[in-house]
């Protein structure tokens, strides 16, 4: 079945640094979603991408849908302590396909 490889698995950064994480797939997706999850809470949708090459920003967050349709990245600029959490990518292929989730990137920010 379809699988997503999300990296890195975890990151420890200093406040103010930029962060980059990515997801790659062995098959083509037509949707990429990026979520953030705080402990004990549900995932919150950060950015949705629908077209190959699309670059979308949401405040300090920027995500891109790869040209090959098999990858996506998420950048966070000037990180702050409240950016701490687990970030999941999720992809969907086909009109009826379910969301496939990456295994998550755990972000820790030192003040």
Q: How many CB atoms lie within 10 A of CB 43?
A: 18
Q: How far are the Cα atoms of 68, 74, 94, 107 from residue 78, in angstroms, in the given order?
A: 29, 13, 35, 13
Q: Is 82 in the site for other proteins (CB under 8 A)?
A: no
Positive or negative: CA dihedral 6, 69, 35, 95: negative
Q: How far apart are alpha carbons 60 and 78 in whole angstroms?
A: 7
Q: How far apart are alpha carbons 89 and 1 in whole angstroms?
A: 17
Judged by beta carbon, residue 15 or residue 69, the one nearer other proteins is 69
Q: Is 74 in the site for other proteins (CB under 8 A)?
A: no
From residue 90 to residue 109, the character string flagging contacts with other proteins as x (rule: CB under 8 A) and all else as - is x-x--xx-xx-xxxx-----
- Closest approach, Cβ 111 to other proteins, in A, equals 24
User: Which of 25, 34, 43, 74: binder of other proteins (CB under 8 A)?
Assistant: 43
Q: Provide the binding-site residues for other proteins, judged by CB under 8 A.
A: 30-31, 33, 35, 40-45, 48, 50, 88, 90, 92, 95-96, 98-99, 101-104
């Amino acid at each position: 079945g379809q699988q997503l490889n999300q990296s890195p698995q975890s990151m420890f950064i200093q406040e103010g640094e930029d962060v980059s994480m990515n997801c790659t797939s062995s098959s083509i997706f037509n949707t990429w979603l990026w979520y953030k999850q705080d402990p004990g809470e549900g995932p919150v949708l950060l950015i949705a991408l629908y077209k190959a090459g699309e670059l979308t920003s949401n405040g300090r967050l920027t995500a891109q849908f790869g040209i090959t349709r098999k990858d996506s990245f998420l950048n966070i600029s000037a990180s702050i302590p409240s950016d701490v959490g687990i970030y999941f990518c999720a992809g969907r292929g086909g009109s009826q396909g379910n969301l496939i989730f990456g295994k998550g990137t755990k972000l820790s920010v030192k003040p």
